[in-house]
C-alpha cells in the first residue's frame, strides 16, 4: 500500500505477487504436512482385511496436493496469480504463432480437408483421392481439389486466420467451418490432436484472463 500510494505501482504489484506466491506455498505446505501425517498413521496402523486404515486420507491429501501444485503453477506462469492477467495475451500470441506454423505446414503437405460433409462426398473432392479420375499428377488431394473449377467459390484455407479462429472462442472468422486437418494421414492425425489442444488452450487462456482481470483468482483484494 505504501508503494502504491507513493506512485510505485509496478513495485507494489511485485510485492503482491510475492505475497501471493508465499501464501499459496504455505497452503501447499499444510496439505503436504497432512499427507505426511496420514502416511505415518497408515504405516503404524494394523491392516484390516489386507487394507491399511487411513489409505483414503493419504489418497485424498495426495490428490489435493497435486491439484494445488498444478493450479498454483499455472496461475503463476499464465497470469501472475491474477496480478498480471495481461500475461495471458502473450501466451495467446505464442499459441497463435505456433498454430499458424503447424497449420501452414499441414497445408503444405496436403493434410487439410474440407469440413463440410457435402464437399467430402462431392465428385471434385472424391475424384482427387489417390487413384481418382481427377488426380492426374503427383499432387495431394488437397492441391488437386483446389485446381477444380467447382472449388473456385469455396473459401481458401489461411493458416493464420485458421489459428486465430480456433484459438479465440469469442470471435468467429468462419474458417474452422470450412476446413479441418485430414486425419487420413499420420501428419493430419497429429495436427488434428494439436487442433483440440489449440482450442482448449484458447478457452483456458480466455477464462483465466477474465478471472485475472475480475480478481477472482486473487487471495484477497489488497
* 151 pLDDT higher than 50: yes
CB 185 within 8 A of CB 149: no
pLDDT greater than 80 at residue 171: yes
pLDDT in tens, 90-119: 999 999 999 999 999 999 999 999 999 999
Using DSSP, state whether 181 is helix, strand or coil: strand
Q: How far apart are CA 104 and CA 142, in angstroms?
A: 13
For the cut 60, the answer to whether the pLDDT of residue 134 exceeds it is yes
pLDDT of residue 222: 47
Q: What is the pLDDT of residues 45-92, one digit of tens each?
A: 877 766 677 788 899 999 999 999 999 998 899 888 888 888 998 999
- Read off the pLDDT band of 145 (50, 70, 90): very high
> Rounded to whole angstroms, how far apart are CA atoms 64 and 52?
20
The DSSP secondary-structure symbol of 51 reads B
What does the alpha-carbon distance between residue 146 and residue 158 come to, in Å, rounded to a whole number? 13
| DSSP assignment string, 57-109 | HHHHHHHHHHHHHHHHHHHHHHHGGGT-TTHHHHHHHHHHHHHHHHHHHHHHT
CA–CA dist 5, 18 (Å, integer): 19
pLDDT for 219 = 58
Distance CA 61, CA 77 (A): 24
pLDDT tens across 173-214, in order?
989 999 999 998 899 999 999 999 999 999 999 988 888 777
Give the model's pLDDT for residue 209.
Answer: 85
Amino acid at each position: 500500500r505504501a508503494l502504491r500510494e507513493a506512485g510505485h505501482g509496478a513495485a507494489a504489484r511485485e510485492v503482491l505477487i510475492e505475497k501471493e506466491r508465499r501464501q499459496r506455498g504455505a497452503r501447499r505446505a499444510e496439505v503436504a504436512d497432512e499427507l505426511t501425517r496420514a502416511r505415518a498413521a497408515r504405516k503404524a496402523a494394523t491392516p484390516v482385511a489386507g487394507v491399511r486404515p487411513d489409505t483414503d486420507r493419504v489418497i485424498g491429501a495426495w490428490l489435493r496436493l497435486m491439484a494445488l501444485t498444478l493450479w498454483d503453477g499455472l496461475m503463476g506462469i499464465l497470469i501472475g496469480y491474477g496480478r498480471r492477467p495481461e500475461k495471458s495475451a502473450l501466451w495467446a500470441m505464442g499459441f497463435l504463432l505456433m498454430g499458424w506454423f503447424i497449420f501452414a505446414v499441414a497445408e503444405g503437405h496436403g493434410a487439410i480437408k474440407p469440413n463440410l460433409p457435402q464437399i467430402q462426398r462431392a465428385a471434385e473432392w472424391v475424384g482427387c483421392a489417390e487413384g481418382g479420375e481427377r488426380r492426374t499428377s503427383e499432387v495431394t488431394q488437397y492441391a488437386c481439389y483446389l485446381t477444380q473449377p467447382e472449388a473456385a467459390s469455396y473459401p481458401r484455407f489461411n493458416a493464420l486466420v485458421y489459428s486465430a479462429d480456433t484459438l479465440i472462442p469469442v470471435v468467429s472468422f468462419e474458417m474452422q467451418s470450412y476446413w479441418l486437418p485430414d486425419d487420413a494421414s499420420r501428419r493430419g492425425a497429429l495436427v488434428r490432436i494439436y487442433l483440440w489442444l489449440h482450442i482448449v488452450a484458447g478457452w483456458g487462456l480466455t477464462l483465466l484472463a477474465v478471472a485475472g482481470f475480475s480478481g477472482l483468482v486473487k487471495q484477497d483484494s489488497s
